[in-house]
């Protein structure tokens, strides 16, 4: 055996433990300040959603017509809306619905989209053609129209709205996944894995997915904001959340009528959405970098 | 060596790349001479600083991060490093031209090869008419063995070897006094490489152009070069003429290089590899840079960086134990 | 005489392209004896890498037989093929491209063990990975590193450790040292020779570098445009190159010495396109000795003695 430096130093090996991938990613994630800020913001939102009952100073659906359209004050931190409801409390409660809609709709569409894109890209041929033509059809229909038709078919309700939003954003993930797969499957390390006897599923999950995560994460974090807004527009036309349930998008759209006289009606829900999207984007960027070992330091 | 016949003389050249991860000592105190009409082979492995050296001569180093700290590059009696941008531009392409490693990427894919050669000619000869320049371009193509009627073709219509010929034609279009070739045949197949080397040898004999040939292949050096400089980690460890270097290699690194390449002409031999890896250029070893990999290294080698010694006429070696 | 571990018969691979059928590999035959190294040389585009990929069934052949221990692996179903891959491995040219940049060295080497479910016990598997790293000359401390942190030589060692993980009998080495610097190249070549000796491995060594092939091979096959034009024992081939292409190829290699004078045969022109090749000898267009017959009749590989095979109509006549 050659006496390279490598070999002679292997005596120190006892102390070396195999670090797990999860721990490694977490370590890199923690080093990223922006990502940590994003995570704190997200934790704050989740905290608000869970403990809304305790934190909220008012009942979110309790009307107080006398104090309607009041600007922010010490009694009502974010003011009151057109029915005198406390906006701060409504935003706290609304975070429950908005976060659920955002996360579930995006989760659904990314999982379905990635799976379809992976199949299309990896196997190619007829299957690819069928899947991609279907996504083309979906993309050709304006998403709002698609949402309306799906909800009309399935019936109103939060659950169906999430499904509708999920389906309408499937094509985007499908395309991204397929594109990165097409370039990745030509890579030698995929061949190397196949030569080791790995199955297609193993290759997709262990090699191709991790390597195509970057654009997917960016897309997903951006889409969470979009999903919250789509849900709002569905609520606006009466197919989504039924009033008086507090929901950020719905608050935004009803507040629009009072934009001139009481801008706080739209400003605070808007800021809440922005806060959530911003948190997700920071998290997403951080996660993307943390998952890439090349950016270790 | 006679001072007067030196076309190019590099004295104490030091180039660093200043990056956030530390300073890369790409080239350190490099001295080199190239007599007129001769070919110098610059040999070394990846990261030895070969390309940096010739880019410093051409002054096409990216600044930042590259910084030429000290040194003189004397070409035809003038220090190129003192020249301003405009006069340097006139020298580039006209007096000194360069051939790059990858023929696939050094040609503009949307312009015909004839026009690309013509452009170089017109750039340095403002008076020449378009038509004359085009005729000259066609002549250049004929010279490198490409039929003139292909001047209207685009680069993708040529094979790799043919593209490299086009690049050579382009480099020679203005009759430069010095031609720098950066691994001109690495990307080519052996039979095509043989064609290109043959061509370069012929042209060199015909035009008496001086040449610096960067390569990692000692075979090419043996074939085409008159002088050889072996680089390791930014320094020239051995310099001499072809015979001195091939018959009496003296630096342990040069000896190591010869021992670790399989030779087609010799009977079954065992390869003796140079142990270890090329050092990290941001964190070079103290003393002699080769000492961690050197089989003859002593205590002293890790402390003193040896000066270059002339062991016979024109044969310089940078080693303490000579 | 040891038995043949691998035999390839009438192997063909045609790729459909817009301009016609690309004959990447066209009727290739050879066999490799156990414990020996077969060198496959040729210039880029001659189909040598495709042959390697066909043997591992990374690309499916158009026609032909690949006999591994006298059993045609082209007839194997998925499961049986998966099992066979344990004994049939490959080391790729570019050690950077053949490693997943997102997997640590440990994970990369462990992958074959995991997908083949060799070990039930995690501890045992870890031990095996460290053992493999030691075999390939990699320090244990590199286990948590990622490919981009290593230099080319070490990366190629990872590729080798990975290929050895399943205790294969046969390794396809697809230009394993072409991407490496000369000093590192020698280290890797020596490692391969050592491993062959210790483990009784059989190699198919694919390369464009004749000096390297000569150094490592027992037998050499020279490919030109999808066909083997000459095949002989290493010594014979270099002493008596008989095909005009082999002669030109040998003379084209620059020798790192100034004591030899080689009469160089400079071939005219470029390698012709492998798409819809015309009948006759593929080398006819560039051959110095080309005669009328060469343009019409495809020469067969003929034995000119001592197992030295040449595909030329006029072998020995010039």
Kindly report the three-state secondary structure assignment for every residue of B19-87: ECCEEEEEEEEEEEEEECCCEEEEECCCCCCHHHHHHHHHCCCCCCCEEEEEEEEEECCEEHHHCCHHH
Q: Do A296 and C146 touch (CB under 8 A)?
A: yes
State whether residue A4 sits within 8 Å of chain B by CB: yes
State whether residue C141 sits within 8 Å of chain A by CB: yes
What's the total number of domains in chain C?
A: 1
Strand partners, B68: B15
CB interface of C with A, residues 182-201, below 8 Å:
187, 190-191, 194
Per the domain annotation, does C99 fall within a domain? no
B250-292 pLDDT, tens digit per residue, is 999 999 988 888 888 777 678 888 888 788 877 888 888 899 8
Q: Please tell me whether residue B114 adopts helix, strand or coil conformation.
A: helix
Q: Do C100 and A292 touch (CB under 8 A)?
A: no
A54-78 pLDDT, tens digit per residue, is 888 888 887 888 878 878 888 788 8
Does the structure show a pLDDT above 90 at C19?
A: no
CB interface of B with A, residues 273-292, below 8 Å:
273, 275-276
Separation CA A97–CA A94 (nearest Å): 5
Does the structure show a pLDDT above 50 at C1?
A: no
Q: Identify the domain containing residue C34 by its residue range.
A: 4-87+168-310
- Residue A103 C-alpha, separation from nearest chain C C-alpha, in angstroms: 26
DSSP output for B200-252: HHHHHHHH--EEEEEES-HHHHHHH-SEEEEEETTEEEEEEEHHHHHHS--SH
pLDDT at C197: 92
**CB nearest A18 (choices: C94, C106, C159):** C106
CA nearest neighbour of C90 among C175, C190, C9, C187: C175
Residue B12 backbone phi and psi in degrees, to 5: 50, 40
Contacts of B275 in chain A (CB under 8 A): 2-5
pLDDT at C243: 92
DSSP output for B138-149: HHHHHHTT--GG
Q: Do A211 and C100 touch (CB under 8 A)?
A: yes
pLDDT at C63: 92
CB interface of B with C, residues 52-111, below 8 Å:
none
Contacts of C159 in chain A (CB under 8 A): 192
pTM value surpassing 0.90? no
For the residues C85-89, what does the mean pLDDT come to? 90
Contacts of A4 in chain B (CB under 8 A): 275-276
Could you give the C-alpha distances from A32 to A35, A105, A289, A296, in angstroms and in order? 5, 28, 9, 11
State whether residue B261 sits within 8 Å of chain C by CB: yes
Q: Which residue has the higher pLDDT, B6 or A107?
A: A107
Contacts of C190 in chain A (CB under 8 A): 2
Quickly list H helices, C121-167.
122-135, 152-164
Pairing of strands C302-303, C309-310: antiparallel
Separation CA B115–CA B150 (nearest Å): 11
Report the residue of B20, B275, B297 to disrupt the A interface, i.e. the one with the largest count of A CBs within 10 Å: B275
**Peptide bond just before B12 cis, omega within 30 deg:** no
Pairing of strands C227-233, C309-310: antiparallel
Per the domain annotation, does C92 fall within a domain? no
Class of domain A32-295: mainly alpha
**CB nearest C141 (choices: A13, A211, A291):** A13
Q: The CATH number of the domain where C34 resides is what?
A: 3.40.50.300
- CA-nearest residue of chain C to A13? C140
Give kind and range of the element (H or E) at residue C203. Answer: strand C202-207
Q: What is the maximum alpha-carbon separation in chain C?
A: 68
Across all residues in chain C, what is the average pLDDT?
88
Least confident span in A286-295, C78-87, C143-152:
A286-295
Contacts of C272 in chain B (CB under 8 A): none
For the residues A269-281, what does the mean pLDDT come to? 87
CB interface of C with A, residues 75-134, below 8 Å:
82-83, 85-86, 88-90, 92-94, 97-104, 106-107, 111-112, 115-116, 126, 130, 134
Does the structure show a pLDDT above 60 at A6?
A: no
pLDDT at C97: 85
Please report, rounded to a whole number, the percentage of residues in chain A having pLDDT higher than 70.
Answer: 92
Contacts of C257 in chain B (CB under 8 A): 222, 246, 263, 265
C279-288 pLDDT, tens digit per residue, is 888 898 888 8
For residue C292, what are the contacts with CB-CB under 8 A and spacing of at least 6? none
A170-185 pLDDT, tens digit per residue, is 999 999 989 988 888 8
Strand partners, C4: C33
- Helix, strand, coil percent values for chain A (each to nearest 5): 75, 0, 25
Domain boundaries defined on chain A: 32-295
**CB nearest C181 (choices: B192, B216, B242):** B216
Q: How many residues are recorded in chain A?
A: 297
Could you give the C-alpha distances from A24 to A19, A132, A291, C105, C145, in angstroms and in order? 7, 37, 9, 14, 11
ipTM score for this prediction: 0.82
State whether residue C197 sits within 8 Å of chain B by CB: no
CB interface of A with B, residues 263-282, below 8 Å:
none
CA nearest neighbour of B229 among B11, B3, B26, B32: B32
Does the structure show a pLDDT above 60 at A297?
A: no
Per the domain annotation, does C246 fall within a domain? yes
Separation CA A61–CA A85 (nearest Å): 6
Q: Do B189 and C253 touch (CB under 8 A)?
A: no
Q: Do A2 and B276 touch (CB under 8 A)?
A: no
* Residue whose token pair is 């709709």: A105
Are C115 and C165 within 8 A, CB to CB? no
pLDDT at B196: 86
Does the structure show a pLDDT above 50 at A13?
A: no
What tokens appear for C77 in the block? 């179903």
Q: Do C159 and A192 touch (CB under 8 A)?
A: yes
Per the domain annotation, does C101 fall within a domain? no
Please report, rounded to a whole number, the percentage of residues in chain A having pLDDT higher than 90.
Answer: 14
pLDDT at A97: 86
Count of pairs with CB atoms under 8 A, one residue in A, one in C: 120
**Packing angle between helix A264-290 and helix A248-255, nearest 10 degrees?**
140
For the residues C169-198, what does the mean pLDDT come to? 89
- CA-nearest residue of chain B to A297? B21
A42-52 pLDDT, tens digit per residue, is 899 999 889 98
Least confident span in A88-97, A147-156, A225-234, B46-55:
A225-234
A235-269 pLDDT, tens digit per residue, is 777 787 777 788 887 888 788 888 888 888 888 98
- Residue A123 C-alpha, separation from nearest chain C C-alpha, in angstroms: 14
Separation CA A226–CA A273 (nearest Å): 10
Are B30 and B290 within 8 A, CB to CB? no
- CA-nearest residue of chain C to B265? C255
Q: Do C116 and A9 touch (CB under 8 A)?
A: no
Q: What is the DSSP letter of C267?
A: P
**CB nearest C252 (choices: B193, B221, B259):** B193
Are C77 and C118 within 8 A, CB to CB? no
Separation CA C71–CA C5 (nearest Å): 10
**CB nearest A197 (choices: C107, C116, C146):** C116
Contacts of C137 in chain A (CB under 8 A): 1-2, 4, 6-7
pLDDT at A18: 57
State whether residue C156 sits within 8 Å of chain A by CB: no
**CB nearest A18 (choices: C86, C126, C190):** C126
Strand partners, C11: C28
Report the residue of C54, C139, C141, C176 to disrupt the A interface, i.e. the one with the largest count of A CBs within 10 Å: C139
- pLDDT tens-digit profile, chain B (322 residues): 444 478 899 989 999 988 877 788 889 888 888 988 889 999 988 888 888 898 888 888 887 788 888 888 988 888 888 888 888 888 888 889 888 887 778 888 888 999 999 988 888 878 888 888 899 899 889 888 888 888 888 888 888 888 888 988 888 888 888 999 998 888 788 888 888 888 888 888 888 889 999 998 888 999 889 999 999 988 999 999 999 999 999 999 999 988 888 888 777 678 888 888 788 877 888 888 899 888 888 888 888 888 888 888 889 999 888 7
What tokens appear for B93 in the block? 């392409």
State whether residue C211 sits within 8 Å of chain B by CB: yes
Per the domain annotation, does C151 fall within a domain? no
Separation CA C199–CA C89 (nearest Å): 14
What tokens appear for B138 in the block? 């066609």
Separation CA C245–CA B243 (nearest Å): 32
Residue C157 backbone phi and psi in degrees, to 5: -65, -35
Count of pairs with CB atoms under 8 A, one residue in A, one in B: 7
């Amino acid at each position: 055996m050659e006496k390279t430096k490598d070999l002679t130093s292997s005596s120190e090996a006892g102390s070396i433990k195999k670090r797990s991938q999860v721990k490694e990613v977490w370590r890199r994630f923690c080093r990223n300040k922006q990502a940590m800020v994003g995570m704190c913001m997200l934790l704050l939102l989740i905290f608000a959603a869970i403990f809304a009952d305790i934190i909220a100073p008012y009942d979110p659906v309790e009307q107080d017509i006398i104090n309607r359209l009041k600007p922010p004050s010490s009694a009502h931190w974010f003011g009151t809306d057109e029915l005198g409801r406390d906006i701060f409390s409504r935003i706290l409660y609304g975070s429950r619905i908005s976060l659920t809609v955002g996360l579930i709709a995006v989760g659904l569409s990314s999982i379905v989209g990635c799976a379809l894109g992976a199949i299309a890209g990896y196997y190619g041929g007829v299957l690819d053609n069928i899947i991609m033509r279907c996504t083309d059809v979906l993309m050709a229909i304006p998403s709002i129209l698609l949402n309306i038709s799906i909800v009309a078919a399935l019936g109103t309700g939060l659950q169906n709205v999430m499904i509708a939003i999920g389906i309408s954003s499937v094509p985007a993930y499908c395309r991204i996944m397929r594109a990165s797969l097409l370039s990745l499957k030509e890579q030698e390390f995929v061949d190397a894995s196949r030569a080791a006897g790995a199955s297609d599923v193993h290759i997709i999950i262990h090699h191709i997915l991790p390597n195509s995560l970057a654009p997917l994460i960016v897309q997903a974090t951006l889409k969470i904001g979009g999903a919250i807004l789509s849900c709002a527009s569905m609520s606006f036309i009466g197919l989504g959340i039924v009033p008086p349930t507090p929901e950020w998008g719905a608050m935004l759209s009803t507040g629009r009528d009072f934009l001139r006289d009481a801008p706080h009606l739209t400003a605070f829900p808007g800021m809440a959405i922005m806060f959530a999207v911003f948190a997700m984007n920071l998290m997403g960027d951080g996660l993307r970098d943390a998952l890439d070992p090349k950016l270790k330091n | 060596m006679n001072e007067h016949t030196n076309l190019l003389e590099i004295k104490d050249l030091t180039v660093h790349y200043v990056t956030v991860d530390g300073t890369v000592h790409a080239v350190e105190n490099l001295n080199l001479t190239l007599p007129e009409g001769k070919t110098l082979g610059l040999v070394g492995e990846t990261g030895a600083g070969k390309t940096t050296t010739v880019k410093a001569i051409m002054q096409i180093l990216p600044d930042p991060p590259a910084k030429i700290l000290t040194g003189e590059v004397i070409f035809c009696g003038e220090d190129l490093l003192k020249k301003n941008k405009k006069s340097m531009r006139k020298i580039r392409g006209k007096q000194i031209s360069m051939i790059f490693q990858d023929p696939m990427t050094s040609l503009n894919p949307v312009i015909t090869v004839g026009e690309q050669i013509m452009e170089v000619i017109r750039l340095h000869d403002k008076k020449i008419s378009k038509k004359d320049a085009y005729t000259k371009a066609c002549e250049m193509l004929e010279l490198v063995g490409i039929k003139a009627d292909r001047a209207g073709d685009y680069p993708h219509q040529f094979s790799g070897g043919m593209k490299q010929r086009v690049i050579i034609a382009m480099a020679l279009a203005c009759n430069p006094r010095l031609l720098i070739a950066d691994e001109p045949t690495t990307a080519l197949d052996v039979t095509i490489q043989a064609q290109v080397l043959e061509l370069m040898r012929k042209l060199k004999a015909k035009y008496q152009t001086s040449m610096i040939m960067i390569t990692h292949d000692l075979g090419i050096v043996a074939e085409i070069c008159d002088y050889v400089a072996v680089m390791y980690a930014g320094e020239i460890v051995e310099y001499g003429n072809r015979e001195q270097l091939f018959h009496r290699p003296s630096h342990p690194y040069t000896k190591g290089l010869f021992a670790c390449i399989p030779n087609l002409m010799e009977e079954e031999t065992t390869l003796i590899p140079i142990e270890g890896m090329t050092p990290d250029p941001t964190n070079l070893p103290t003393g002699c840079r080769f000492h961690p990999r050197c089989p003859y290294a002593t205590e002293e080698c890790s402390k003193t960086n040896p000066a270059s010694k002339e062991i016979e006429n024109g044969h310089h070696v940078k080693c303490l134990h000579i | 005489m040891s038995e043949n571990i691998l035999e390839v018969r009438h192997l063909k691979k045609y790729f459909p392209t817009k301009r016609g059928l690309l004959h990447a590999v066209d009727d290739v035959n050879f066999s490799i004896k156990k414990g020996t190294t077969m060198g496959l040389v040729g210039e880029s585009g001659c189909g040598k890498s495709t042959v390697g990929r066909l043997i591992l069934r990374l690309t499916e052949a158009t026609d032909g037989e690949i006999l591994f221990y006298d059993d045609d692996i082209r007839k194997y179903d998925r499961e049986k093929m998966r099992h066979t891959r344990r004994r049939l491995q490959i080391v790729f040219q570019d050690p950077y491209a053949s490693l997943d940049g997102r997997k640590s060295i440990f994970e990369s080497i462990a992958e074959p063990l995991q997908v083949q479910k060799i070990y039930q016990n995690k501890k045992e598997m870890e031990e095996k990975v460290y053992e493999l790293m030691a075999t390939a000359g990699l320090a244990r401390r590199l286990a948590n590193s990622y490919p981009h942190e290593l230099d080319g030589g070490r990366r190629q060692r990872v590729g080798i450790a990975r290929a050895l993980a399943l205790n294969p009998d046969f390794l396809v080495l697809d230009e394993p040292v072409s991407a490496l610097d000369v000093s590192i190249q020698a280290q890797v070549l020596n490692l391969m020779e050592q491993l062959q000796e210790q483990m009784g491995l059989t190699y198919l060594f694919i390369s464009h570098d004749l000096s390297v092939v000569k150094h490592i091979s027992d037998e050499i096959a020279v490919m030109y445009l999808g066909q083997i034009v000459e095949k002989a024992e290493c010594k014979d081939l270099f002493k008596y190159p008989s095909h005009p292409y082999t002669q030109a190829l040998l003379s084209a290699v620059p020798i790192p010495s100034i004591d030899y004078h080689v009469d160089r045969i400079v071939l005219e022109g470029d390698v012709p396109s492998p798409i819809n090749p015309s009948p006759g000898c593929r080398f006819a267009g560039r051959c110095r000795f080309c005669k009328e017959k060469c343009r019409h009749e495809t020469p067969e590989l003929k034995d000119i003695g001592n197992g030295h095979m040449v595909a030329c109509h006029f072998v020995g006549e010039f």
